[in-house]
């Protein structure tokens, strides 16, 4: 169990799964850069936050619900939680994403982390949730099975381990770097290389031997 | 590499800066003179009687736009810091390296070597451009070479390196007058004088160094380092020692050459200065505008960064070097590659 002050932002889980270094740059190094994707994401979120609570058949819709879990050590917000009017059904967390469905499970794990927080806070069990993707506009149901729950718990534990170390993982350039909003801060290609010392000393030697 | 963003300089007296949505508004009385989107800026620098709203200051802090205030004469007053500034873990490393003899020596060695090498390049370039007085310049080029050879030896104490840096500075500024073209009696230079500057050349050097300190401080805070804890410059309350350290290698390249070209191209004339009681010489408002314009232009020039192997705007140099320094302090790279300028 974590204490209240050890809680890490839940939103970091998706960064962490995309790239632990990106997560460390944001959450440990406090670096943040906007790119088109993050700005559009914020605009979409603002829309979600602005909206008044409304209802969907059989459900009351609440927005921006504060969350935390002492078991996972996370705190954050759910975009939307749907509360059943009939008390015997379960709550449904819904996450809004501006883009397409991704080929990795960062979004799904983030939603599952929200569900685990809600379970801990309400003492009820939450079997499933949904992700709403902006393009194309569709609602994707997500079942919180045992495997997904374990993946989520593992990700939260790994994140805490890295945070305790206070280390930022070194950069490794990969294809996915091209879509990363922190590319210019991370500079994985040039700043990440080794052997700089040798190179610099030989430049210095050149300076010394340079004649008029 | 990230793009070079603009710095907004406010030299007009009595204006008011406010936040409007995502933009900065510059107002005079009830009239809006200018609107600038904040995402196009990396800094806001105000001289003299300029006011700003608290919400604008907070907004700039949040967006990593460094806002500094100076007196009308370019003396530093204050800078605005937002809610989150830097990474405390990285700063602790920085303090540890500053307390660690070997770690400190390694950084100071590369900084001093690069500074001496870059000063020497400035002189050699002037000789190549056939200045009349190239003999005194050549003599100092030889002196600087011997200083550089001594500084380059590994494992020297920080005190020895400080001494060498001082020796290099004396040699370099000792022949600085020779870098100013013939018939410029009005720009006589008798060595560095800082508090206060006693001649026109010193007035310009001090002013441009002030601008450079602002940019370097902003770059250091941007990567999460503490501008006050240095390696070459000893800590002194109120002194941005690390910013001064990182400036050393950049001074000759960015600042000194700008001052020389402003004088030699006669863009700055005697009418751009005023002398105060007691002999201090300062740029007047027109002079400051002239220098600021040239400064902004200089920052946009691109050159091939030897270590990055890509073209970089001069104005991004503080940021690039701050990034290299942060990586060294964090242990991601084995050394700090100070900038060796290729003339």
Per-residue model confidence as pLDDT tens digits over B22-36: 889 999 988 999 999
Cα separation of B2 and B40, whole Å?
12
Q: Which of residues 236-295 of B touch A (CB under 8 A)?
A: none
Assigned token pair, A78: 């759910």
Mean pLDDT of chain B: 86
Write the pLDDT tens digit of every residue in B295-333. 988 988 988 888 888 888 888 899 889 988 988 888 778
Q: Tell me the shortest Cα–Cα distance from B65 to chain A, in angstroms.
A: 13
CB-CB: which of A29, A200, A208 is closest to B224? A29
Give the percent of chain B with pLDDT over 90: 33
In tens, the pLDDT along B170-218 reads 999 988 888 887 667 788 888 888 878 888 899 999 999 999 998 899 8
Dist CA B313 CA B100 (whole Å): 34
- Reported as a single tens digit per residue, the pLDDT across B241-277 is 999 999 999 999 999 999 999 998 888 888 888 888 7
Nearest CA-CA partner of B66 in B75, B74, B57: B57
pLDDT band at A37 (very low <50, low <70, confident <90, very high): very low
DSSP state letters, B184-227: -GGG---S---SS--SHHHHHHHHHHHHHHHHHHHHHHHHT--T
Q: Of B68 and A38, which is predicted with more confidence?
A: B68
Q: Do B323 and A187 touch (CB under 8 A)?
A: yes
Chain B residue numbers touching A187 (CB-CB < 8 A) = 1, 323
* Of residues B87, B110, B334, nearest to A29 (C-beta): B87
| Residue-wise pLDDT tens digits, A49-93 | 565 557 778 888 888 889 999 999 999 989 899 999 888 889 999
- pLDDT, tens digit, 9 for 90 and up, residues B72-111: 767 778 888 766 556 777 888 899 999 988 888 999 999 9
What is residue A52's predicted lDDT score, i.e. its pLDDT?
58
pLDDT score, position A187: 78
- Among A190, A203, A207, beta carbon nearest to B308: A190
Confidence grade of residue B334 (pLDDT, cut at 50, 70, 90): confident
Test mutation, B252, B305, B335, chain A, max A CBs within 10 A:
B335
Which residue on chain A is closest to B115 by alpha carbon? Answer: A204
Residues 6 or more apart in contact with residue B228 via CB below 8 angstroms:
B235, B239, B240, B241, B242
pLDDT at site A44:
56
Quick one: pLDDT at residue A171? 82
Write out the E strands in chain B. 6-10, 15-20, 23-28, 31-37, 41-47, 50-52, 66-70, 76-80, 273-275, 281-283, 302-305, 310-313
- Work out the average pLDDT over A115-144: 90
Convert the pLDDT of each residue in A70-81 to its tens digit.
999 999 989 899
Q: Does the pLDDT of residue A41 top 60, yes or no?
A: no
Question: CA torsion, points B323, B328, B330, B332, in degrees to nearest 10?
Answer: 100
């Amino acid at each position: 169990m974590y204490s209240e002050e050890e809680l890490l932002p839940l939103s970091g889980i998706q960064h962490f799964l995309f790239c632990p270094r990106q997560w460390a740059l944001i959450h440990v190094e406090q670096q943040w850069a906007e790119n088109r994707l993050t700005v559009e994401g914020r605009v979409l979120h603002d829309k979600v936050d602005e909206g008044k609570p409304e209802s969907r058949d059989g459900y009351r819709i609440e927005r921006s619900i504060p969350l935390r879990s002492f078991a996972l050590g996370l705190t954050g917000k759910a975009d939307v939680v749907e509360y059943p009017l009939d008390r015997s059904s379960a709550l449904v967390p819904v996450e809004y994403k501006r883009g397409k469905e991704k080929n990795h499970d960062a979004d799904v794990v983030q939603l599952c982390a929200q569900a685990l927080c809600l379970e801990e806070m309400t003492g009820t069990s939450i079997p499933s949730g949904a992700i709403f993707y902006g393009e194309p506009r569709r609602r994707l149901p997500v079942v919180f099975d045992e495997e997904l729950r374990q993946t989520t718990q593992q990700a939260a534990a790994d994140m805490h381990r890295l945070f305790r170390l206070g280390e930022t993982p070194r950069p490794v350039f990969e294809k996915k770097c091209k879509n990363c909003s922190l590319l210019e801060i991370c500079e994985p290609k040039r700043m990440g290389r080794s052997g700089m010392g040798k190179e610099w000393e030989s430049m210095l030697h050149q300076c010394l031997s340079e004649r008029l | 590499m990230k793009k070079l963003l603009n710095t907004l300089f406010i030299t007009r007296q009595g204006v008011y800066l406010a936040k409007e949505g995502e933009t900065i508004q510059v107002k005079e009385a009830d009239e809006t003179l200018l609107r600038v989107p904040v995402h196009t800026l990396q800094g806001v620098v105000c001289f003299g009687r300029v006011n700003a709203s608290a919400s604008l200051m907070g907004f700039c802090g949040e967006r990593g736009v460094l806002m500094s205030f100076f007196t009308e004469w370019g003396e530093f007053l204050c800078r605005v810091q937002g809610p989150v500034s830097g990474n405390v873990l990285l700063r602790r490393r920085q303090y540890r390296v500053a307390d660690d003899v070997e770690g400190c020596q390694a950084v100071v060695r590369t900084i001093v070597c690069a500074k001496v090498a870059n000063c020497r390049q400035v002189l050699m370039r002037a000789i190549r451009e056939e200045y009349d007085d190239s003999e005194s310049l050549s003599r100092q080029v030889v002196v600087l070479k011997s200083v550089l050879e001594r500084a380059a030896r590994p494992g020297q104490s920080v005190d020895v390196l400080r001494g060498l840096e001082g020796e290099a500075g004396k040699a370099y500024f000792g022949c600085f007058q020779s870098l100013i073209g013939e018939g410029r009696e009005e720009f006589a230079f008798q060595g560095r004088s800082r508090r206060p500057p006693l001649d026109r050349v010193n007035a310009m050097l001090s002013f441009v160094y002030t601008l450079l300190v602002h940019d370097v401080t902003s770059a250091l805070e941007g990567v999460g380092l503490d501008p006050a804890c240095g390696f070459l410059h000893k800590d002194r309350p109120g002194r941005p020692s690390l910013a001064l350290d990182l400036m050393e290698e950049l001074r000759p390249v960015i600042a000194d050459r700008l001052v020389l070209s402003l004088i030699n191209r006669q863009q700055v004339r005697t009418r751009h200065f005023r002398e105060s009681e007691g002999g201090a010489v300062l740029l007047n408002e027109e002079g400051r505008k002239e220098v600021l314009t040239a400064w902004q232009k200089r920052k946009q020039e691109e050159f091939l960064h030897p270590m990055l192997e890509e073209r970089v705007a001069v104005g991004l140099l503080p940021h690039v070097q701050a990034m290299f320094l942060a990586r060294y302090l964090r242990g991601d790279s084995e050394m700090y590659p100070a900038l060796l300028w290729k003339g």
